Structure 1
Amino acid sequence: MKPTESGLELPFFSMNCNGKLIDLSVPKIMGILNMTPDSFSDGGKFNDEKNALLQTEKMLADGAEIIDIGPQSTRPNAEFLSSDEEIARLGKIISTIKREFPESLLSVDTFWSETVKYAYNEGIDIVNDISAGQYDPKLFETVAGTGLPYILMHVNPTYKSMHEKIAYDDVTVAVNKFLLEKARELLKIGVKDIILDPGFGFGKTFEDQHKMIEETQFIGLGKFPVLIGISRKSFIYKPLGKGPLDINEETQKLHLKVLQQGAKILRVHDVAEAKKTLDLYVTSLF
């Protein structure tokens, strides 16, 4: 147990990735690898094997310990892909990265059970699902069958409604109720390692998202490790009149704030800058 700046005692967490025990007492950086032509800030840059490998190499060198591979954009008005289309887009990139960088940890960003099966056979280590199992009824049982860690995100109940703003009486209470109910369901079917993601950028107002930043310490009530994904999100840049690539300083201040409240994984585009923030946080502990 380590105290944070807020005085909280942080519980110890770990996750079993294909038999490799990953200690989360020091938070990890998850680098985003979008294999998509239409992602909101880097669409089309890394959707071929050569550029994907180069970007993976750079992110690992910059300090990422997890690479999150996304075959489908979930920005507003993005192209909707079937699992077959996701699998075709992934190709052999998972097994290729594993061959080139065998110590890397890879997550697949999908809400389709068939994509999870394919990625598992290719060597994936973590399942990152924005849907909380709501968009494919077989997703939870498929994840349980793999034995992999699962990232559970708060989101609206349908694909079409995922970005519709909801009026919450208290967003933190609502997010916790949703996540803890889903986590109980997952535990019952044998999913052992669950990471909670409060779902920044999905159906929440600017005010609600800043409230979640301030109350990160309460997400999951200390029962599960928490992932924070605020990189290049509009709730940061739009109120400032900036673009998604122009908010590094503001983002790192928020990253430091959530780390101080116990966040265990930062999902980011700008790995080198996030690593500086993580190093600053770790130094402050000793």
Structure 2
Amino acid sequence: MQHHGSSPEYHTLNCNGKLVDLSGPKIMGILNLTPDSFSDGGKFNNEKAALVQAEKMLKEGAEIIDIGPQSTRPNAQFLTTGEEINRIGRMISLIKKEFPEVLISLDTFYSKTVKYGFNEGIDLINDISGGQYDSKMFDVAAETKLPYILMHVNPSYETMHDKIKFEDITVSISRYFSEKTAELLSKGVRDIILDPGFGFGKTVEDQMKMIDEVRYFGFGKCPLLIGISRKSFIYKPLGKSPADINEETQKLHLKVLRQGAKILRVHDVAEAKKTVDLF
């Protein structure tokens, strides 16, 4: 297996002209703007709550904040791009003003939401759909010149959580990655981060295999983002609740870091930070 450090481009991301060094792992903290994530006490209270949460995650060691206007968990309410933009409001620019050093990724599968976020100051695009739910997404990603997080997922919003039995999950995901990265590169997207898509339409066994084989995704060419925080493949087999699996989650985090994962997308930043420091 080739040493990951052999390609210098691999180590930096160009986020709006800011070069981000990926030689050590980074923590991405999740900031959901969904009503069930904040007590909905009008816009001002929401903005205040989001800023408090962002500050807490930055203090605990997150360098990236992932803002998500729409939930993509099973049976979540579907939002249009207009509803997403409305929900984001001034949140991105407020966080940027308050914490200029923070990197903000925007979790959306709509190109229009990306355009809005770009004007508000986002640094990365986190599209759970791999450009499959909006045909303009790759073009808009190229226009912004921002790093693009490419996630493996089923081809439509409706089938997002349908459990598919793969002959070989690692081979299937790697094939998907190589096709989509070729398309992104041909359109002019320079920085691509790969996310194998834990929690999206995959069996528990397949996800455990993915954890074991993380090092093979993306052939060591692109940095890997791993998002396993509070995912059911960890807590359901244990008969636990999403909040009670910290120990198991950190063991798995350590396992993927040892295989070269560069970004951990998490709810519990302080716990992940301990794991990164241990690593």
Shorter-chain TM band: over 0.9
TM-aligned CA distance change 1:236 to 1:45, over 3 Å: farther
TM-aligned CA distance change 1:61 to 1:272, over 3 Å: same
Deviation at 1:213, TM superposition (A): 0.2
The residue correspondences of 1:19-38 to structure 2 (distance < 5 A) are: 19-38=17-36
1:73-102 CA-to-partner distances (Å, cap 9, x unmatched) read 000010000000000000000000000000
> What is the Cα-based RMSD across aligned positions, in Å?
1.2
Letter in 1 for 2:113: T
Letter in 2 for 1:55: Q
Maintained 8 Å contact 2:67/2:105: yes
TM-aligned CA distance change 1:261 to 1:44, over 3 Å: same
2:68 paired with 1:70: yes
Maintained 8 Å contact 1:143/1:150: yes
TM-aligned CA distance change 1:246 to 1:8, over 3 Å: farther
1:117-175 CA-to-partner distances (Å, cap 9, x unmatched) read 00000000000000000000111100100000000000000000000011111000000
Maintained 8 Å contact 1:8/1:261: no
Structure 2: 5+ residue runs without aligned partners?
A: none
2:147 maps to which of 146, 149, 165 = 149
Deviation at 1:37, TM superposition (A): 2.0
CA distance in 2, matches of 1:45, 1:201: 26
The match for 2:111 is: 113
The match for 2:47 is: 49
CA distance in 2, matches of 1:67, 1:76: 23
Maintained 8 Å contact 2:38/2:49: no
2:104 paired with 1:100: no
Deviation at 1:64, TM superposition (A): 0.1
The match for 2:3 is: 9
Maintained 8 Å contact 2:12/2:22: yes
The residue correspondences of 1:181-192 to structure 2 (distance < 5 A) are: 181-192=179-190
Deviation at 1:10, TM superposition (A): 2.2
Letter in 2 for 1:28: K
Match of 1:238, SS state, is helix
Deviation at 1:14, TM superposition (A): 1.3
2:131 paired with 1:133: yes
Q: Percent identity?
A: 69
Q: Which has the higher helix share?
A: 2
Deviation at 1:112, TM superposition (A): 0.3
Deviation at 1:45, TM superposition (A): 5.3
Paired residues in the alignment total: 271
Deviation at 1:44, TM superposition (A): 2.8
CA distance in 1, matches of 2:170, 2:158: 23
Deviation at 1:9, TM superposition (A): 2.3
1:191-214 CA-to-partner distances (Å, cap 9, x unmatched) read 000000000000100000000000
The residue correspondences of 1:139-218 to structure 2 (distance < 5 A) are: 139-218=137-216
Match of 2:19, SS state, is strand
What is the TM-score with the length of structure 2 in the denominator? 0.95
Deviation at 1:180, TM superposition (A): 1.1
Match of 1:180, SS state, is helix
Deviation at 1:8, TM superposition (A): 6.4
Deviation at 1:179, TM superposition (A): 1.0
The match for 1:227 is: 225
Maintained 8 Å contact 1:13/1:224: no
